[in-house]
Amino acid sequence: MFSKRLGIDLGTANSLVYLAGEGVVLNEPTVVAVSIDDNRVVAVGSEARDMLGRTPGNIMATRPLRDGVIADYRITEAMLRYFIQKVAGKSFLFKPEVMICVPAGVTQVERRAVLDATLAAGAKVAYLIEEPLAAAIGAKIPIAQASGHMIVDIGGGSTEAAIVSLGGIVVNKSARVAGTKLDERVAQFIKKKYNLIIGERMAEDVKLQIGSATPLDKDITMEVRGRDMASGLPRMVEITSHEITEAMQPILMQMIGAVKNVLEETPPELGADIIDKGIVLSGGTSLLRNFDMLMTKTTGVPCHIAEDALLCVVRGTGVALENIELYKRSIARK
């Protein structure tokens, strides 16, 4: 037992690392800055995120994961190596065991890519767990019982809705729309209505500060800075929460569509359990103002947000790693 055991939630927006016996030890943005001249990784995490949209010509800051899956294999491997070395130490004699979670809807090729990247980054053994299952464990849902529980995990790249019973996933649907698509939608809206081009950091700030899933009783305003499309000069406009709510509706409806699809395919016995217990929401995007209210209104099923919604998936991954015998049916390894 000399080797460390790590649970990694490799998210599109943020990556979190859980160290067995200690808890969550790392929470960094999933961004990598690469030098174009020699393909060298310059910065990872928060440092690289500060470079987004601000880099000189010879450095490129990118997000190596898109829609919850690996978009750039080499950069993902470099990022995993950085996370593993930061937590396990650079000169580890004993390679760590690593468990990574993946969206439930990914293909075999995408699963293999994650396992291979983890092993190449310095893991002794790589395990995979499906995101909804990890989120359910992290949200303290008793998944081993013979009753249905519904978990909806909404992160940066994908919305995962699943019914969990007897330790496994009964029905699941994955929609590759989530927080990042909301940011893009906000940026598109401001560009179209105000002829103002804003960066992804600014779009995210607008969503977090004044974004709401349902119209607010009292409108909130925010000053947004960007570049004027006509003159090319910096300009500032004032935007209301009502406008942002309207702009985000199509994406929110796509997310809720995945939830409705799962409910439609749920066996009647489990459907009755879901009505009793309600839907549990986890993931960063579930914290969007009034999102639980919109979900309850459109599905007719009560919804509540899990405690520490941001950490559910990584905690669940860590718990599954610490109790691997209990969850071995639901885990792939390499």
Is 12 flagged in the annotation as binding?
Answer: yes
Same domain, 239 and 264: no
pTM greater than 0.85 (yes/no): yes
Tell me which of 68 and 86 has the higher pLDDT.
Answer: 86
Q: Tell me: do 67 and 171 sit in the same domain.
A: no
Annotated binding residue at 86?
no
* 14 assigned ligand-binding residue: yes
13 is in an annotated binding site: yes
**Per-residue pLDDT averaged across 75-83, rounded?**
89
Residue in the structure block whose two tokens are 């980054």: 121
Domain boundary, last residue among 217, 247, 277 = 247
Do residues 153 and 274 both lie within one domain?
yes
172 shares its domain with 187: no
Q: Which among 247, 282, 299 is the end of a domain?
A: 247
Q: Which domain holds residue 32?
A: 5-133+313-333
* Residue 91 predicted with pLDDT over 70: no
- Are residues 105 and 231 both part of a single domain? no
CATH of the domain at 207: 3.90.640.10
Q: Are residues 50 and 120 in the same domain?
A: yes
Q: Which of 140-144, 208-212, 225-229, 322-326 has the lowest mean pLDDT?
A: 322-326
Q: Average pLDDT, whole number, for the chain? A: 91
pLDDT in tens, 146-172: 899 999 999 988 899 999 999 889 999
Q: What is the domain count for the chain?
A: 3
In this structure, the answer to whether residues 158 and 285 fall within a common structural domain is yes
206 annotated ligand-binding residue: yes
Same domain for 20 and 72, yes or no, is yes
Which amino acid, 197? I
Give the least confident one: 69-78, 130-139, 171-180, 310-319. Answer: 69-78
With 70 as the cut, is the pLDDT of residue 1 above it? no
Shared domain for 188 and 294, answered yes or no, is no
What local confidence, expressed as pLDDT, does residue 265 receive? 95
Model confidence at 186, in pLDDT bands (50, 70, 90)? very high
pLDDT in tens, 249-264: 999 999 999 999 999 9
205 in a known ligand binding site: yes
Residue 276: is its pLDDT beyond 80? yes
- pLDDT of 222 reads 95
Average pLDDT of 172-186? Answer: 93
